[in-house]
Amino acid sequence: MDTTTLEQLGLSKREAKAYLALLELGTSTVGSIVKKTGIPSSKIYEVLDRLMEKSLVSYVTIKHTKHFQAAEPEQIIHYYDERKAQFLEILPGLKEKSKQAEDRQTVELYEGKQAVFNSIYNLVRQAKKGDEYLSFSFGEEHEDPDINRFYANLTWRRVEQGLKMRVLSNDPPRHILFRYGKDIVRRIKVRFTKFVYPQGIVIVGNKLVVVNWKDKPTTIVITSHTITAQFRQFFYELYKQAKP
Protein backbone atom coordinates (compact mmCIF):
# COMPACT_ATOMS: atom_id res chain seq x y z
CA MET A 1 0.00 0.00 0.00
CA ASP A 2 1.22 3.50 -0.84
CA THR A 3 2.52 5.51 2.12
CA THR A 4 1.66 8.93 0.65
CA THR A 5 -1.59 9.50 2.55
CA LEU A 6 -0.04 8.56 5.89
CA GLU A 7 2.87 10.89 5.16
CA GLN A 8 0.41 13.70 4.44
CA LEU A 9 -1.12 13.03 7.85
CA GLY A 10 2.22 13.60 9.53
CA LEU A 11 4.10 10.30 9.52
CA SER A 12 7.56 10.00 8.06
CA LYS A 13 8.04 7.58 5.16
CA ARG A 14 9.71 5.01 7.41
CA GLU A 15 7.03 5.38 10.10
CA ALA A 16 4.33 4.82 7.48
CA LYS A 17 6.10 1.76 6.07
CA ALA A 18 6.58 0.24 9.53
CA TYR A 19 2.96 0.87 10.54
CA LEU A 20 1.57 -0.65 7.33
CA ALA A 21 3.89 -3.63 7.68
CA LEU A 22 2.64 -4.30 11.22
CA LEU A 23 -0.97 -4.08 10.06
CA GLU A 24 -0.21 -6.83 7.53
CA LEU A 25 2.08 -8.95 9.72
CA GLY A 26 0.23 -8.70 12.99
CA THR A 27 2.33 -9.05 16.15
CA SER A 28 5.95 -9.24 14.95
CA THR A 29 9.53 -9.06 16.02
CA VAL A 30 11.99 -6.42 14.84
CA GLY A 31 13.59 -8.86 12.41
CA SER A 32 10.30 -9.46 10.60
CA ILE A 33 9.60 -5.72 10.37
CA VAL A 34 13.07 -5.01 8.97
CA LYS A 35 12.65 -7.78 6.39
CA LYS A 36 9.20 -6.52 5.37
CA THR A 37 10.06 -2.80 5.14
CA GLY A 38 13.73 -2.68 4.22
CA ILE A 39 14.33 -0.18 7.04
CA PRO A 40 17.93 -0.56 8.32
CA SER A 41 18.14 -2.48 11.60
CA SER A 42 20.15 0.44 13.03
CA LYS A 43 17.11 2.73 12.52
CA ILE A 44 14.15 0.45 13.19
CA TYR A 45 13.98 0.99 16.97
CA GLU A 46 14.07 4.75 16.46
CA VAL A 47 11.16 4.47 14.00
CA LEU A 48 9.16 2.20 16.31
CA ASP A 49 9.79 4.53 19.29
CA ARG A 50 8.32 7.45 17.33
CA LEU A 51 5.28 5.36 16.39
CA MET A 52 4.80 4.42 20.06
CA GLU A 53 4.97 8.12 21.01
CA LYS A 54 2.11 8.64 18.54
CA SER A 55 0.20 5.70 20.14
CA LEU A 56 0.19 3.91 16.79
CA VAL A 57 2.34 0.96 17.91
CA SER A 58 2.66 -1.00 21.16
CA TYR A 59 4.67 -4.04 22.21
CA VAL A 60 4.67 -7.01 24.56
CA THR A 61 7.72 -8.87 25.82
CA ILE A 62 7.69 -12.61 25.26
CA LYS A 63 10.66 -14.62 26.47
CA HIS A 64 12.82 -11.48 26.69
CA THR A 65 11.96 -10.49 23.10
CA LYS A 66 9.80 -7.49 22.14
CA HIS A 67 6.88 -8.25 19.87
CA PHE A 68 5.36 -5.15 18.24
CA GLN A 69 1.82 -4.64 17.03
CA ALA A 70 0.00 -1.85 15.21
CA ALA A 71 -2.85 0.06 16.81
CA GLU A 72 -6.20 -0.03 15.07
CA PRO A 73 -6.31 2.33 12.04
CA GLU A 74 -8.90 4.51 13.85
CA GLN A 75 -6.08 5.56 16.16
CA ILE A 76 -4.63 7.58 13.26
CA ILE A 77 -7.79 9.71 13.34
CA HIS A 78 -7.26 10.32 17.07
CA TYR A 79 -3.61 11.19 16.42
CA TYR A 80 -4.63 13.61 13.66
CA ASP A 81 -7.31 15.19 15.89
CA GLU A 82 -4.74 15.70 18.65
CA ARG A 83 -2.37 17.42 16.24
CA LYS A 84 -5.23 19.59 14.97
CA ALA A 85 -6.15 20.56 18.54
CA GLN A 86 -2.52 21.44 19.28
CA PHE A 87 -2.38 23.57 16.15
CA LEU A 88 -5.61 25.38 17.04
CA GLU A 89 -4.06 26.29 20.39
CA ILE A 90 -1.15 28.09 18.74
CA LEU A 91 -3.19 29.51 15.84
CA PRO A 92 -3.97 32.87 17.56
CA GLY A 93 -0.26 33.43 18.16
CA LEU A 94 0.54 32.61 14.54
CA LYS A 95 -2.11 35.06 13.34
CA GLU A 96 -0.65 37.74 15.58
CA LYS A 97 2.81 37.16 14.09
CA SER A 98 1.32 37.34 10.60
CA LYS A 99 -0.39 40.64 11.45
CA GLN A 100 2.88 42.04 12.78
CA ALA A 101 4.55 41.13 9.48
CA GLU A 102 1.75 42.85 7.53
CA ASP A 103 2.13 45.99 9.65
CA ARG A 104 5.90 46.08 9.20
CA GLN A 105 6.96 49.17 7.27
CA THR A 106 9.65 49.06 4.60
CA VAL A 107 11.14 51.49 2.10
CA GLU A 108 12.89 50.32 -1.10
CA LEU A 109 14.74 52.48 -3.60
CA TYR A 110 15.25 51.50 -7.25
CA GLU A 111 17.43 53.41 -9.69
CA GLY A 112 17.67 53.11 -13.45
CA LYS A 113 14.96 52.84 -16.08
CA GLN A 114 14.69 49.03 -16.14
CA ALA A 115 14.68 48.83 -12.35
CA VAL A 116 11.80 51.32 -12.26
CA PHE A 117 9.90 49.30 -14.88
CA ASN A 118 10.38 46.09 -12.86
CA SER A 119 9.31 47.65 -9.56
CA ILE A 120 6.02 48.88 -11.06
CA TYR A 121 5.38 45.61 -12.91
CA ASN A 122 5.90 43.77 -9.60
CA LEU A 123 3.34 46.03 -7.94
CA VAL A 124 0.74 45.01 -10.53
CA ARG A 125 1.78 41.35 -10.54
CA GLN A 126 1.42 41.05 -6.75
CA ALA A 127 -2.01 42.71 -6.71
CA LYS A 128 -5.17 40.61 -6.55
CA LYS A 129 -8.11 40.80 -8.90
CA GLY A 130 -10.44 43.54 -7.73
CA ASP A 131 -7.71 45.54 -5.93
CA GLU A 132 -7.77 49.29 -6.47
CA TYR A 133 -5.02 50.94 -8.48
CA LEU A 134 -5.01 54.65 -7.63
CA SER A 135 -2.77 56.91 -9.66
CA PHE A 136 -1.78 60.56 -9.45
CA SER A 137 -1.06 60.79 -13.18
CA PHE A 138 1.80 62.65 -14.79
CA GLY A 139 0.52 65.75 -16.54
CA GLU A 140 2.40 65.30 -19.80
CA GLU A 141 3.56 62.59 -22.15
CA HIS A 142 7.16 61.46 -21.78
CA GLU A 143 9.76 62.23 -24.41
CA ASP A 144 11.35 58.80 -23.95
CA PRO A 145 9.56 56.29 -26.25
CA ASP A 146 10.58 53.40 -23.96
CA ILE A 147 8.67 54.98 -21.08
CA ASN A 148 5.61 55.59 -23.24
CA ARG A 149 5.65 51.96 -24.42
CA PHE A 150 6.05 50.83 -20.82
CA TYR A 151 2.95 52.71 -19.69
CA ALA A 152 0.93 51.43 -22.66
CA ASN A 153 1.86 47.81 -21.77
CA LEU A 154 1.31 48.47 -18.08
CA THR A 155 -2.21 49.73 -18.72
CA TRP A 156 -3.18 46.51 -20.49
CA ARG A 157 -1.57 44.44 -17.73
CA ARG A 158 -3.68 46.26 -15.15
CA VAL A 159 -6.78 45.54 -17.23
CA GLU A 160 -5.88 41.85 -17.59
CA GLN A 161 -5.14 41.62 -13.85
CA GLY A 162 -8.65 42.87 -13.12
CA LEU A 163 -7.57 45.90 -11.12
CA LYS A 164 -10.04 48.71 -10.45
CA MET A 165 -8.23 51.73 -11.84
CA ARG A 166 -8.90 55.29 -10.77
CA VAL A 167 -6.75 58.10 -12.13
CA LEU A 168 -6.42 61.78 -11.30
CA SER A 169 -5.14 63.87 -14.19
CA ASN A 170 -4.29 67.51 -14.92
CA ASP A 171 -4.46 66.70 -18.63
CA PRO A 172 -7.48 67.81 -20.65
CA PRO A 173 -9.78 64.87 -21.53
CA ARG A 174 -8.87 64.97 -25.23
CA HIS A 175 -5.16 64.47 -24.38
CA ILE A 176 -5.96 61.40 -22.28
CA LEU A 177 -8.13 59.99 -25.06
CA PHE A 178 -5.39 60.57 -27.62
CA ARG A 179 -2.71 59.06 -25.41
CA TYR A 180 -4.51 55.86 -24.35
CA GLY A 181 -7.31 55.33 -26.88
CA LYS A 182 -11.02 54.65 -26.34
CA ASP A 183 -10.65 50.99 -25.29
CA ILE A 184 -8.39 51.87 -22.37
CA VAL A 185 -10.19 55.04 -21.32
CA ARG A 186 -13.46 53.08 -21.01
CA ARG A 187 -11.77 50.84 -18.41
CA ILE A 188 -10.16 53.65 -16.41
CA LYS A 189 -12.16 55.94 -14.17
CA VAL A 190 -10.30 59.16 -14.95
CA ARG A 191 -11.17 62.47 -13.34
CA PHE A 192 -9.68 65.83 -14.17
CA THR A 193 -8.60 68.55 -11.80
CA LYS A 194 -6.71 71.84 -11.90
CA PHE A 195 -5.47 71.21 -8.37
CA VAL A 196 -1.69 70.81 -8.25
CA TYR A 197 -1.07 67.36 -6.76
CA PRO A 198 2.12 65.30 -6.29
CA GLN A 199 2.53 63.49 -9.62
CA GLY A 200 3.87 60.01 -10.24
CA ILE A 201 2.33 58.38 -7.15
CA VAL A 202 0.57 55.01 -7.30
CA ILE A 203 -1.28 53.26 -4.45
CA VAL A 204 -2.08 49.54 -4.49
CA GLY A 205 -2.95 47.63 -1.33
CA ASN A 206 -0.47 48.55 1.39
CA LYS A 207 2.14 49.79 -1.11
CA LEU A 208 2.77 53.31 -2.30
CA VAL A 209 5.11 53.95 -5.23
CA VAL A 210 6.70 57.29 -6.04
CA VAL A 211 8.16 57.53 -9.55
CA ASN A 212 10.60 60.14 -10.81
CA TRP A 213 11.61 60.02 -14.48
CA LYS A 214 13.68 63.21 -14.52
CA ASP A 215 17.46 63.06 -14.29
CA LYS A 216 18.12 59.45 -13.19
CA PRO A 217 14.88 57.39 -13.21
CA THR A 218 14.05 56.44 -9.63
CA THR A 219 11.29 54.62 -7.80
CA ILE A 220 10.62 54.60 -4.06
CA VAL A 221 8.37 51.74 -2.90
CA ILE A 222 6.88 52.24 0.56
CA THR A 223 5.11 49.36 2.29
CA SER A 224 2.94 50.74 5.09
CA HIS A 225 -0.76 50.43 5.94
CA THR A 226 -0.65 53.79 7.74
CA ILE A 227 0.99 55.78 4.94
CA THR A 228 -1.08 54.24 2.14
CA ALA A 229 -4.28 54.89 4.12
CA GLN A 230 -3.36 58.57 4.43
CA PHE A 231 -2.54 58.95 0.73
CA ARG A 232 -5.63 56.94 -0.26
CA GLN A 233 -7.80 59.34 1.74
CA PHE A 234 -6.02 62.31 0.11
CA PHE A 235 -6.59 60.78 -3.33
CA TYR A 236 -10.30 60.30 -2.75
CA GLU A 237 -10.76 63.82 -1.40
CA LEU A 238 -9.35 65.18 -4.66
CA TYR A 239 -11.16 62.56 -6.73
CA LYS A 240 -14.55 63.53 -5.29
CA GLN A 241 -13.94 67.19 -6.21
CA ALA A 242 -12.53 66.46 -9.67
CA LYS A 243 -14.63 66.33 -12.85
CA PRO A 244 -15.32 63.11 -14.80
111 forms beta bridges with 218
pTM for the model stands at: 0.55
Give the domains, in start order, of the chain with CATH numbers. Answer: 1-104 (1.10.10.10), 105-241 (3.30.870.10)
The b/e string for 98-117 (b: 16+ C-beta within 10 A; e otherwise) is eeeeeeeeeeeebeebeebb
- Does residue 231 carry a pLDDT above 80? yes
User: Per-residue confidence at 167, pLDDT binned at 50, 70, 90?
Assistant: confident
Kindly give, in sequence order, each residue whose CB lies less than 8 Å from that of residue 232, ignoring residues fewer than 6 positions away: 134, 203
Say if residues 49 and 90 touch (Cβ distance below 8 Å).
Answer: no
Say if residues 207 and 105 touch (Cβ distance below 8 Å).
Answer: no
DSSP 178-204: HHH-HHHHHHSEEEE--S----SEEEE
Instruction: Dump pLDDT digits (tens) for 171-223.
Output: 655 455 445 555 555 667 778 888 878 888 999 999 999 999 888 899 999 99
In the chain, pLDDT over 90 holds for what percent of residues? Answer: 46
User: Per-residue confidence at 36, pLDDT binned at 50, 70, 90?
Assistant: very high
